[in-house]
Amino acid sequence: MPSKVLTVQVSSGHTMSKPVVDSITLVAGFGVEGDAHNGTTVKHRSRVRQDPTQPNLRQVHLMHAELFDELRDMGFDVRSGMLGENITTSGIDLLGLPVGARLHIGAEAIVEVTGLRNPCAQIDGIAPGLMDACLARDSNGKLIRKTGMFSIVVVGGVVRAGDAIKLEMPVGEQVRMQPV
Protein backbone atom coordinates (compact mmCIF):
# COMPACT_ATOMS: atom_id res chain seq x y z
CA MET A 1 0.00 0.00 0.00
CA PRO A 2 1.45 3.41 -0.90
CA SER A 3 2.13 5.82 1.96
CA LYS A 4 -0.17 8.82 1.94
CA VAL A 5 -1.89 11.56 3.90
CA LEU A 6 -5.47 10.68 4.85
CA THR A 7 -6.46 13.92 6.57
CA VAL A 8 -4.93 17.13 7.89
CA GLN A 9 -5.89 19.06 11.03
CA VAL A 10 -5.10 22.40 12.67
CA SER A 11 -6.28 24.26 15.77
CA SER A 12 -5.35 27.75 16.94
CA GLY A 13 -6.26 26.81 20.51
CA HIS A 14 -4.59 24.45 22.96
CA THR A 15 -7.23 21.77 22.49
CA MET A 16 -6.88 17.99 22.56
CA SER A 17 -8.76 17.50 19.30
CA LYS A 18 -8.18 19.36 16.05
CA PRO A 19 -10.77 19.75 13.28
CA VAL A 20 -10.12 18.22 9.87
CA VAL A 21 -9.47 20.87 7.20
CA ASP A 22 -8.84 20.79 3.44
CA SER A 23 -5.16 21.72 3.70
CA ILE A 24 -2.47 22.88 6.09
CA THR A 25 0.60 24.96 5.38
CA LEU A 26 3.90 23.85 6.88
CA VAL A 27 6.41 26.62 7.53
CA ALA A 28 10.13 25.73 7.70
CA GLY A 29 11.51 25.86 11.24
CA PHE A 30 8.12 26.86 12.63
CA GLY A 31 5.42 24.20 12.15
CA VAL A 32 1.82 24.31 11.00
CA GLU A 33 0.62 27.80 10.13
CA GLY A 34 -2.20 28.82 12.47
CA ASP A 35 -1.66 25.95 14.93
CA ALA A 36 -1.27 26.63 18.66
CA HIS A 37 1.83 24.42 18.78
CA ASN A 38 3.86 26.17 16.08
CA GLY A 39 6.98 28.17 16.81
CA THR A 40 10.71 27.83 17.19
CA THR A 41 10.46 27.21 20.95
CA VAL A 42 8.17 24.80 22.83
CA LYS A 43 4.44 25.54 22.91
CA HIS A 44 3.08 22.47 24.72
CA ARG A 45 2.04 23.82 28.12
CA SER A 46 3.90 21.20 30.17
CA ARG A 47 7.13 21.91 28.29
CA VAL A 48 6.72 25.68 28.57
CA ARG A 49 6.41 25.33 32.37
CA GLN A 50 9.68 23.35 32.46
CA ASP A 51 11.68 25.69 30.22
CA PRO A 52 10.07 27.99 27.63
CA THR A 53 13.39 28.41 25.77
CA GLN A 54 13.61 24.73 24.71
CA PRO A 55 13.62 24.20 20.94
CA ASN A 56 10.26 23.06 19.56
CA LEU A 57 10.77 19.46 18.48
CA ARG A 58 6.97 19.05 18.31
CA GLN A 59 6.16 21.32 15.38
CA VAL A 60 4.11 18.72 13.49
CA HIS A 61 2.32 15.73 15.05
CA LEU A 62 1.78 12.75 12.74
CA MET A 63 -0.47 9.81 13.57
CA HIS A 64 -1.04 6.55 11.70
CA ALA A 65 -4.69 5.79 10.89
CA GLU A 66 -3.98 2.11 11.54
CA LEU A 67 -4.10 2.99 15.26
CA PHE A 68 -7.74 4.06 14.86
CA ASP A 69 -8.56 0.62 13.39
CA GLU A 70 -6.86 -1.06 16.35
CA LEU A 71 -8.72 1.14 18.83
CA ARG A 72 -12.03 0.52 17.05
CA ASP A 73 -11.45 -3.23 17.51
CA MET A 74 -11.07 -2.49 21.23
CA GLY A 75 -14.41 -0.63 21.33
CA PHE A 76 -13.20 2.97 20.98
CA ASP A 77 -14.56 5.36 18.34
CA VAL A 78 -11.51 7.47 17.48
CA ARG A 79 -11.18 9.39 14.23
CA SER A 80 -8.71 11.76 12.58
CA GLY A 81 -7.85 14.79 14.68
CA MET A 82 -9.35 13.50 17.93
CA LEU A 83 -5.90 12.75 19.41
CA GLY A 84 -4.49 16.13 18.38
CA GLU A 85 -2.49 15.18 15.31
CA ASN A 86 -1.84 17.54 12.41
CA ILE A 87 -1.39 14.84 9.79
CA THR A 88 -3.10 11.45 9.73
CA THR A 89 -1.20 8.94 7.59
CA SER A 90 -1.77 5.55 6.06
CA GLY A 91 0.68 2.93 4.82
CA ILE A 92 3.80 4.03 6.70
CA ASP A 93 5.18 2.62 9.96
CA LEU A 94 5.58 5.94 11.76
CA LEU A 95 6.47 4.33 15.09
CA GLY A 96 9.31 2.35 13.50
CA LEU A 97 11.07 5.37 12.02
CA PRO A 98 14.42 6.47 13.41
CA VAL A 99 15.23 9.99 14.57
CA GLY A 100 16.32 12.06 11.58
CA ALA A 101 14.22 10.20 9.00
CA ARG A 102 12.62 12.64 6.59
CA LEU A 103 9.16 12.47 5.15
CA HIS A 104 8.62 14.19 1.81
CA ILE A 105 4.92 15.06 1.82
CA GLY A 106 3.10 16.19 -1.28
CA ALA A 107 4.83 18.37 -3.85
CA GLU A 108 7.32 20.17 -1.60
CA ALA A 109 6.99 19.77 2.18
CA ILE A 110 9.64 17.87 4.15
CA VAL A 111 9.48 17.06 7.86
CA GLU A 112 12.18 15.42 9.98
CA VAL A 113 11.38 12.91 12.73
CA THR A 114 12.31 14.09 16.22
CA GLY A 115 10.61 11.60 18.55
CA LEU A 116 7.55 9.90 19.94
CA ARG A 117 4.48 11.45 21.44
CA ASN A 118 4.05 10.46 25.06
CA PRO A 119 0.28 10.04 25.55
CA CYS A 120 -1.16 12.10 28.38
CA ALA A 121 -4.13 11.66 30.72
CA GLN A 122 -6.17 14.14 28.64
CA ILE A 123 -6.77 11.25 26.22
CA ASP A 124 -9.06 9.67 28.81
CA GLY A 125 -11.27 12.77 28.43
CA ILE A 126 -12.20 11.43 24.99
CA ALA A 127 -13.15 8.03 26.42
CA PRO A 128 -12.31 6.40 29.75
CA GLY A 129 -9.51 3.86 29.32
CA LEU A 130 -8.37 5.25 25.96
CA MET A 131 -4.93 6.25 27.24
CA ASP A 132 -4.21 2.70 28.41
CA ALA A 133 -5.41 1.41 25.03
CA CYS A 134 -2.81 3.69 23.38
CA LEU A 135 0.00 1.96 25.31
CA ALA A 136 1.36 -1.58 25.14
CA ARG A 137 4.39 -3.60 26.20
CA ASP A 138 6.77 -5.49 23.95
CA SER A 139 8.03 -9.02 24.70
CA ASN A 140 10.74 -7.52 26.96
CA GLY A 141 8.25 -5.44 28.93
CA LYS A 142 9.33 -2.17 27.31
CA LEU A 143 6.58 0.43 26.99
CA ILE A 144 5.25 1.05 23.47
CA ARG A 145 3.68 4.46 22.89
CA LYS A 146 1.26 4.27 19.97
CA THR A 147 0.05 7.88 19.68
CA GLY A 148 2.23 8.94 16.79
CA MET A 149 5.37 10.95 16.47
CA PHE A 150 6.61 14.50 16.24
CA SER A 151 8.69 16.24 13.62
CA ILE A 152 10.13 19.59 12.65
CA VAL A 153 9.55 21.28 9.30
CA VAL A 154 12.65 21.29 7.10
CA VAL A 155 10.97 22.56 3.91
CA GLY A 156 7.57 24.21 3.98
CA GLY A 157 4.64 23.62 1.71
CA VAL A 158 0.94 22.90 1.50
CA VAL A 159 -0.22 19.43 2.62
CA ARG A 160 -3.58 17.93 1.65
CA ALA A 161 -5.44 14.66 2.02
CA GLY A 162 -4.27 12.25 -0.67
CA ASP A 163 -0.72 13.60 -0.84
CA ALA A 164 1.94 10.95 -1.25
CA ILE A 165 4.55 10.43 1.48
CA LYS A 166 8.07 9.38 0.50
CA LEU A 167 10.53 8.22 3.14
CA GLU A 168 14.19 9.29 3.25
CA MET A 169 16.15 7.37 5.86
CA PRO A 170 19.05 9.10 7.66
CA VAL A 171 22.60 8.23 6.73
CA GLY A 172 24.67 6.46 9.37
CA GLU A 173 23.59 4.92 12.63
CA GLN A 174 19.84 4.65 13.13
CA VAL A 175 18.72 6.09 16.47
CA ARG A 176 15.42 4.76 17.85
CA MET A 177 12.83 7.40 18.71
CA GLN A 178 12.27 8.36 22.34
CA PRO A 179 9.49 10.62 23.70
CA VAL A 180 10.11 14.33 23.10
By C-alpha distance, which of 114, 105, 118, 111 is closest to 159? 105
Residue 19 lies in a domain: yes
pTM for the structure as a whole = 0.97
Residue 176 lies in a domain: no
Residue 149 lies in a domain: yes
* Neighbouring residues of 145: CB distance < 8 A, sequence distance ≥ 6: 95, 116, 117, 118, 119, 134, 135, 179
The helix/strand count (H/E) of the chain reads as 3, 13
Span 42-59, pLDDT tens digits: 998 888 999 999 999 999
Residue 36 lies in a domain: yes
Residue 96 lies in a domain: yes
- CATH code where residue 69 lies: 2.40.33.20
Residue 99 lies in a domain: yes
Task: Compute the mean pLDDT over every residue in the chain, rounded to the nearest whole number.
Answer: 96
Given a cut of 80, is residue 1 above it in pLDDT? Answer: no
pLDDT band at 120 (very low <50, low <70, confident <90, very high): confident
Percentage of residues of the chain with pLDDT beyond 90: 93
Residue 171 lies in a domain: no
Residue 133's domain comprises: 4-164
Total domain count for the chain? Answer: 1
